[in-house]
Amino acid sequence: MYVTIYFLSLKIKMLSEQEKIRREKLEKLIDYGINPYPQHSFETSTDSKKIKSSFEEGKSVKIAGRLMSRRIQGKASFAELLDNEGKIQLYFNRDEICQGEDKSLYNDVYKKLLDIGDIIGINGSLFTTKVGEMTVLVKKFILLSKSLKPLPLPKTDSEGNTYDEFNDPESRYRQRYVDLIVNSSVKETFIKRTKIIDKIRTFLNKRDYLEVETPVLQPIPGGASAKPFTTHHNALNIPLYLRIANELYLKRLIVGGFAGVYEFAKAFRNEGMDRTHNPEFTMIELYVAYKDYYWMMELTEKLIEEISISINKSTLISLDGKEINLKAPYKRISILDSIKEHTGIDVSDFDEKQMFETAKKLGIEVESNMGYGKLIDAIFGEKCEHHYIQPTFIIDYPKEMSPLTKEHRDNPKLTERFELFINGKEIANAYSELNDPIDQMMRFKDQLKLSEKGDEEAMYIDKDFVRALEYGMPPTSGIGIGIDRLVMLFTNQKSIQEVIFFPQMKPQINKPISKRSDFLTIGVNEDWIDIVMEIYVDTESLLSNKPTQVHQKLNGFRKKNKLNLDALQLDNVAEWFKTNS
């Protein structure tokens, strides 16, 4: 049932003029016997892309999509339809659509009751206009969904200047559905995202690695140094954590006898948000038995190179005016050598106190609870990582930074770990995995000491994982790749929000709405109070204006909506402000 909307009711928000008109059209469509939201399916025979790629004059077609523009010229009209594959021109002719005496389907329904944004189904035939435009001659049309909100479509003037573009980032992220309709490049970004994921999956499946699934809700958050989200299982009466990584479960499967496993996983980290971090993100983790981090570097190079060729048809990409070559092999440098190269300080023999003083000397913000590993990470992050524009493996991290990584074969103070940096951002993190259960327990205990010092990102002790290692895990290499950052790389995006359909956003702050009594208190009379509350959600917003502005706005609203009320006098409005002074 469709209910008439009373625009002055306080039960709904005040609608714009266009929204009111569209709802009036909705009522008229129903009066015509047209269901604006029909239940039946509409089977299409083709789409805009197929029409253009295999155009055949006179061919009958059945297509559907969103009406994006119209140029009505009496009994004929050109329009533009947007479907999943792009846009196609439509030609509406009154006598073609209405072949009998009754012309109301064209004159009333099409011309007066349809709007830009409505979704329609078309039966027609193909022809080419005099200027060579491939076009669908409309023989029948049906309304499939009435749009009640106007689309924020850009306008172009005679000089080619574009206005009113829907390009405010916050609005775009909050209303991604609108963003996808009006900004075609956004859709292309997400199509590329899917292709990148498909390419990775194909690359790994060809090597006979098994795609698996592991728990999102975990009793112990492990596999990374990060602050978890906490929840509670009512039936079991236990705390649970949204996973920060899937590493420990995948390595349990290597213990169980699988030669290679991988998972595309949603991970959650209760940390800050910025242009490269979202609290919910996607990653791929891979673990392969009988391999080490040298082997994994070579595999990673091959993967990145193949993705680039598959997506961009080249190993060269352009980002921020810089040309980056993704062809293997990639440069390798240890994290300590990198710090020495970019700060001039050799920290390889420093203890924690010396590292703390060095970080302060370099102007890096430090906290007393930061251990040796966190200090190294802070120095590298601030002074080094932005230099690595071309693909570079940063290798051989200190042991405290890598509690799940095997000790380096040549230096017991280091571990066999690498991170891949491209365009100054970390893309991947990989190890020769620690498989010594005694060493692993000692590393967990060291993390516990950091936690006791106040490090909220220190790892928990996972006794079951240690037990799994006690049964024996073969030498293994593992890697984690951030899908979101990888997509940023291949789509030339500077913000992670651009490659996530619905990124986490700060809540929109809505001020509490003043009560009726609040408006009565300042002197608003009963006849006008509903209107005043429609326009000013609280007394504060009303009183932030000048009395003359409020007077003009309220009387303008009265006149526009033809309300049966006596005009407000300026003296009356001024009294509301005196009461509050």
> How far apart (Å, rounded) are the C-alpha atoms in residues 63 and 135?
12
Q: What pLDDT was estimated at residue 511? A: 60
What confidence category does residue 448 fall into, taking pLDDT thresholds of 50, 70 and 90?
Answer: confident
Provide DSSP, 95-140: HHH--SS--HIIIIIIIII--TT-EEEEEEEEEE-TT--EEEEEEE
Domain range summary for the chain, segments of one domain joined by +: 17-151, 187-330+390-499, 516-580
What confidence category does residue 204 fall into, taking pLDDT thresholds of 50, 70 and 90?
Answer: very high
According to DSSP, the β-strands at 238-242 and 217-218 are antiparallel
Structure tokens at 155: 């306008």
Mean pLDDT of 139-152: 96
What residues pair up with 211 in beta bridges, in sequence order? Answer: 262
Buried b (16+ CB within 10 A) or exposed e, 278-289: bbebbbbbbbbb
> Would you give the distance in Å from CA 277 to the centre of its chain?
11
Position of tokens 């969904």?
Answer: 145
Buried b (16+ CB within 10 A) or exposed e, 322-344: eebebebebeebbbbbbbbebbe
Half-sphere CA count of 100, side-chain side, radius 13 A:
3
CB 225 within 8 A of CB 448: no
DSSP state of 386: G
CATH fold of 17-151: OB fold (Dihydrolipoamide Acetyltransferase, E2P) (2.40.50)
Euclidean distance between the first and final Cα of the chain, in Å? 49
Q: Which among 502, 428, 493 is positioned nearest to 279, based on CA atoms? A: 502
Q: Which of 51-65, 367-381, 441-455 has the lowest mean pLDDT?
A: 441-455
Position of tokens 């995006």?
Answer: 493
**Does domain 187-330+390-499 bear CATH number 3.30.930.10?**
yes
Q: What pLDDT was estimated at residue 9? A: 42
Q: For 252-278, what is each residue's pLDDT tens digit?
A: 999 999 999 999 999 999 988 888 899
> How far apart (Å, rounded) are the C-alpha atoms in residues 259 and 311?
29
What confidence category does residue 10 fall into, taking pLDDT thresholds of 50, 70 and 90?
Answer: very low
Q: What pLDDT was estimated at residue 557? A: 80
CB 395 within 8 A of CB 335: yes
Q: For 523-568, what is each residue's pLDDT tens digit?
A: 998 888 888 887 887 888 888 888 998 988 888 888 777 778 888 8
Per-residue pLDDT for 4 more than 70?
no
